[in-house]
Amino acid sequence: MAHEINMGSDGLLRVKMWGDFGKLEGDQFYQDMSVYLEPANAENPVNSIMDIEGIQTMSAAARKHFTDLNSDPRFGYAAFVKAPRPVRVLTKFILKATGRKNIEFFNNESDAAAWLLSLQPARESRETQ
């Protein structure tokens, strides 16, 4: 499994993943995501676009990393782009386990970014109240 993580100029984290996702890959991914989560907090979480079309398999250890990540209040909304069916099913289990409703599925990055950016004003207005 390989992954790339980059912060966009629009403030959205862009994540691309492909291949097999085992324990070692999950550990590395979680460590790389921590760099972006450390300065975040629940009031100003990291929102991300995750291109996961290329994921092949995911081990139990990797699934635990995703559940832990989604349990973290610093991990905000995530837009999954081109998610294969097994990832969609797994995501529904993760959402149920974490009690969150912070992930949506999209066919392209522009729709995903538009959704995430539409959430920004609502968050900013809550911060000023």
* Whether pLDDT at 120 is above 80: no
Segment holding 76, helix H or strand E: strand 75-81
> What is the structure's pLDDT at 21?
86
Range of the domain at 39: 2-128
Assign residue 28 the CATH number of its domain: 3.30.750.24
- Percent of the chain at pLDDT > 90 equals 70
The reported pTM is 0.86
Domain count, the chain: 1
Residue type, 37: L
Segment 116-121 long-range contacts (CB within 8 Å, at least 24 positions apart): 116/12, 116/47, 116/48, 116/49, 116/77, 116/79, 117/10, 117/12, 119/47, 119/77, 120/11
Mean per-residue pLDDT of the chain? 89
